[in-house]
């Protein structure tokens, strides 16, 4: 079980970095279009020049699917509670919805793609942090005892 818990943590950290890379890549595409369009370049040329970023964003999205599938497998192997395994599987469902949202052809619906990406980032961060297998875990507060605050002398 120790191997699977550590593998879950490592893949979770890689997933988080990859999601941040997704935002960076699509940002590069958007700002390439904006920069060229504001410089007087024809819209089609600006779109063509940003195509490499859109392709990288799509390919990286497939990489995210592989990482999430690995997380689900490691979650089972680590024998995490069903809640953790279910939330990990939810990441895959959200990624599938992400693909659909990107191709609706309706701008207001497709714009949910960005919000869904943030939800994926948040859930991946929560799962990785709450199941981190390296180092000491912070002590859980005990019911009925006051929580220590910064600067207190407890």
Give the global pTM: 0.82
CA distances from 123 to 38, 49, 89 (A): 36, 33, 11
Contact 98, 116 (CB under 8 A): yes
d(CA 41, CA 105): 25
Q: What is the pLDDT of residues 56-68, one digit of tens each?
A: 999 999 999 999 9
Q: How many residues does the chain have?
A: 154
Burial label for 65, CB within 10 Å (0-12, 13-18, 19+), is middle
d(CA 128, CA 131): 5
Structure tokens at 132: 């981190």
Q: What is the pLDDT of residues 21-48, one digit of tens each?
A: 999 999 999 998 888 777 666 777 878 8
**Higher per-residue confidence, 41 vs 78:** 78
Structure tokens at 113: 């793609």
- Indicate if the pLDDT at residue 99 is higher than 90: yes
Q: What is the pLDDT of residues 137-153, one digit of tens each?
A: 655 666 766 655 555 55
Cβ-based neighbour number of residue 89 at 10 Å: 17
């Amino acid at each position: 079980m120790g191997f699977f818990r550590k593998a879950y943590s490592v893949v979770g950290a890689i997933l988080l970095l990859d999601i941040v890379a997704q935002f960076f890549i699509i940002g590069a595409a958007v700002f390439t279009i904006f920069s060229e369009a504001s410089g007087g370049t024809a819209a089609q040329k600006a779109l063509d020049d940003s195509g490499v970023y859109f392709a990288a964003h799509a390919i990286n999205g497939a990489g995210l699917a592989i990482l999430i599938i690995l997380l689900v497998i490691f979650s089972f192997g680590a024998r995490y509670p069903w809640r953790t395994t279910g939330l990990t599987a939810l990441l895959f469902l959200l990624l599938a919805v992400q693909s659909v949202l990107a191709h609706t052809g309706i701008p207001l619906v497709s714009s949910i793609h960005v919000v869904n990406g943030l939800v994926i980032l948040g859930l991946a961060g929560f799962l990785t942090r709450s199941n981190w297998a390296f180092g000491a875990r912070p002590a859980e507060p005990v019911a009925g005892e006051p929580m220590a605050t910064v600067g207190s002398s407890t």
